[in-house]
Amino acid sequence: MSLRNLKEWTIIAKEAFNGSFFVAKALCFLHVTNTYVLSVVSLYGPSMLPIFNITGDLALAERISHKFGKVGAGDIVLVTSPLEPRKIVTKRIIGVEGDSVTYVVDPNNSDRTQTIVVPKGHIWVEGDNIYSSKDSRNFGAVPYGLLQGKMFWKIWPPKDFGSLGKKSKITE
């Protein structure tokens, strides 16, 4: 191998290393952004009808405000499921610590209600579709530590593009 070939291979190796390093930095940036700042979330299932369709909705969730206690009744949040810890679920906050929450025990009999006071350090979450939602009515109040993020913008389908602002479940 001549000196000229060795120099060419050195240049090629440096370019490959620089390109790989750039890709690695970009992937690290995406990972940190997705984990700690902002996520695109794919939503499916009937528990949040009519806000989210059964299949294929996409929304943005920010992962900062809940760490500073900036969530409240009416917010749609991502929560680690207390029943299936590997699963993240989307629910609406009905009450925060100290709130008195009255909920329907049996969706088929709206006369059966129960009232609880949300314990300190917990939130009460429910799906908008009470007929098909596993939520705090099934597993109780959820610790703040299981909060993963707050939904704020629907991006798919295009006809529903826009803010998910804070809404009360009662007014929907």
Give the residue numbers annotated as catalytic, written as ranges.
47, 91
Q: Which residues pair with 96 in a beta bridge?
A: 123
Q: Which two tokens stand for residue 120?
A: 């300190």
Task: Work out the burial of residue 125: count CB atoms within 10 Å of its CB; fewer than 13 is exposed, 13-18 middle, 19 or more buried.
Answer: buried
d(CA 124, CA 39): 23
Q: Which two tokens stand for residue 99?
A: 């709130």
Half-sphere exposure of 1 (CA within 13 A, CB side): 6
What residue has token string 């479940």?
169
Amino acid code (one letter) for 133: S
